[in-house]
Amino acid sequence: MSPSARLRVAGVGAGYFSQFHYGSWRRIPEVELVACCDQDLSKAQAWGVPAFDRLPDMLATVQPDLLDIILPPEGHRVALAQALEAGVRAIICQKPFGVDLDEARAMAQDAAEAGATLVIHENFRFQPWYRAIKAALDAGRVGTLQQATFRMRPGDGQGPNAYLDRQPYFQQMERFLVHETAVHWVDTFRFLMGDPTAVYADLQRLNPVIAGEDAAVILFDHPRQVRALFDGNRHLDHASDNLRRTMGEALFEGTEGSISLRGDGSVWLRAFGSLDAVEILGSNTWEGFGGDCVHALQNHVVSGLLHQTPIENQALDYLTVIAIEQAIYTSAATGRKCKVETP
List the chain domain ranges.
7-121, 125-289+322-339
- 3.40.50.300, 3.40.718.10, 3.40.50.720, 3.30.70.420: CATH of 7-121: 3.40.50.720
- Residue 105 has φ and ψ, to the nearest 5°, of -60, -40
Nearest to 79 by CA among 99, 54, 100, 60: 54
User: What are the mean pLDDT values of the chain's consecutive 10-residue runs (343 residues total)?
Assistant: 75 96 97 98 96 98 98 96 98 94 97 98 98 98 98 98 93 94 97 98 98 98 98 98 97 98 98 98 94 98 97 97 97 98 83
User: What is the identity of the amino acid at 58?
Assistant: M
User: Residue 343: its pLDDT value, please?
Assistant: 77
User: Residue 4: its pLDDT value, please?
Assistant: 53
Q: Domain spanning 125-289+322-339: which superfamily?
A: Dihydrodipicolinate Reductase; domain 2 (3.30.360.10)
Check: pTM over 0.75? Answer yes or no: yes
DSSP letter assigned to residue 223: G
What are the C-alpha distances in Å from 85 to residues 113, 137, 161, 316? 12, 43, 41, 20
- Residue positions counted in the chain: 343
Q: H-helix or E-strand containing 120?
A: strand 117-121
CA 53 to CA 3: how far, in whole Å?
Answer: 33
